[in-house]
Homo-oligomer: A and B are copies of this chain.
Amino acid sequence: MSAAPAQSRPGGRSARVRAAVHRAVEELAAADAAEPLTIPVIAARAGVHPTTVYRRWGSVAQLLADVATSRFSGDVVVPDTGTLAGDLERWMGDVATDLADPDVLALMRATIGSGPEGGCACAVDRHDQLRAMIERERARGGAAPDVERAVDMLLGPLYYRAVFSTQPASPQWARGLVTALLKDM
């Protein structure tokens, strides 16, 4: 969505509404996975009129995409340890720690399907970060796996454990995935 400067002064009413609505979505997602996330329910929780939400986001799906993009951007930073192995290990530990927070997991589940062309808006920033680390390694002349292969072998097992299985996804185990990926090149 492009910014509409007249409506979105930082700290103005527009920013307060956005913050309140985002917080309402996060709280409702964390409270009960079976709670239906509808615009009237979200608006009531945020203390704003449903029309305000409809006008600004259009649909629950677009609102969820906005919340996921905002929440899952910048929460984990790209480390710069000097080596690809070091960068990936620290980053995977951080992503695993993030996913171990039940509120983060609840929001992720709620926003599945919210990404561009399906997928999850929660994953877009993760892919960008992985690509940044891999391209930096190539730029300094090192060997690095394909981004797609790294997504498959790192984010695949990590998100699968967090969402589908009951196996714990510990930061230590997550770092072990990096070793397996880089050994295999």
Contacts and interface: CB of A to CB of B under 8 A. Distances in A.
Contact of A127 (B117, B151, B156, B165): B165
A102 to B, nearest CB: 9
Contacts of A109: 112-113
Contacts of A33: 61, 113
B148 A112 contact: no
Interface string A60-96: 1100000000000000000000000000000000000
Interface residues of A, number: 39
Contacts of A34: 37-38, 59-61
Interface of A: 33-34, 36-38, 59-61, 109, 112-113, 115-120, 122-123, 127, 148, 151-153, 155-161, 163-167, 177, 180, 184
Contact of A122 (B164, B166, B180): B164
Given A34-B61, A36-B38, A109-B112, A164 B155 contact: yes
B160 A152 contact: yes
Contact of A160 (B60, B118, B159): B159
A152 B148 contact: no
A115 B163 CA distance: 10
Contacts of A115: 164, 166
A20 to B, nearest CB: 21
A119 B164 CA distance: 4
The 7 closest A-B pairs by CB, nearest first: A36-B36, A156-B157, A156-B156, A152-B157, A156-B160, A119-B166, A123-B164
Given A109-B113, A152-B156, 7 more contacts: A33-B61, A34-B37, A36-B37, A118-B166, A119-B164, A119-B165, A119-B166
Contacts of A59: 34
